[in-house]
Amino acid sequence: MNSHVTKLTSERELPMNFIRFYSVGLLLFIIPFTRELFISITALSLLLVIGIVLYYHREWNVKTVLLFLFIVCASFLLEMAGTATGEIFGVYFYERGLGFKINGTPLIIGLNWLFLVYASHDIANRISGNAFI
């Protein structure tokens, strides 16, 4: 890997680069003539971010893999039930930005929830020093 890419994805630089990455995404969404571009790359950007996060995850074992799979599958099923009934999160639907859907729910939504749970856990752990908060 060339040194520029290595620096961009180094563990030390990653938090600031995520902030930059999401800031550019926010700008693409805010500017009317780039909004369609933003929507078209949303799923790809989510895959990129979750891929980088999982690449830097340190404690890989069967329990971790099973937990990650549970989060992805359970959250997808909850989202699918929610979009079908409106009972869990209220009435809502997904448009085309997140790609292929099953019963109106994008397949990628489970990875989105995995990222949210992972990031929330990491932030809570850094603040409190307790991994179980």
Residue 104 lies in a domain: yes
Question: Of 59, 51, 26, which Cα lies nearest the Cα of 108?
Answer: 51
Token pair, residue 60, equals: 């890989």
Residue 85 lies in a domain: yes
pLDDT at 56: 85
Residue 90 lies in a domain: yes
pLDDT at 11: 67
Cα separation, 86 vs 75, whole angstroms? 15
pLDDT at 71: 98
Task: Give me the number of domains the chain comprises.
Answer: 1
Q: Which domain holds residue 114?
A: 3-128
Could you tell me the mean pLDDT of each successive run of 10 residues in the chain, 133 residues long?
Answer: 53 77 85 86 89 88 97 97 90 88 94 94 83 62
Question: Of 78, 121, 125, which Cα lies nearest the Cα of 103?
Answer: 78
Residue 133 lies in a domain: no
Residue 81 lies in a domain: yes
Task: List CB contacts of 18: < 8 A, sequence separation 6 or more.
Answer: 49
pLDDT at 6: 52
Report residue 31: phi and psi, to 5°: -75, 120
pLDDT at 3: 54
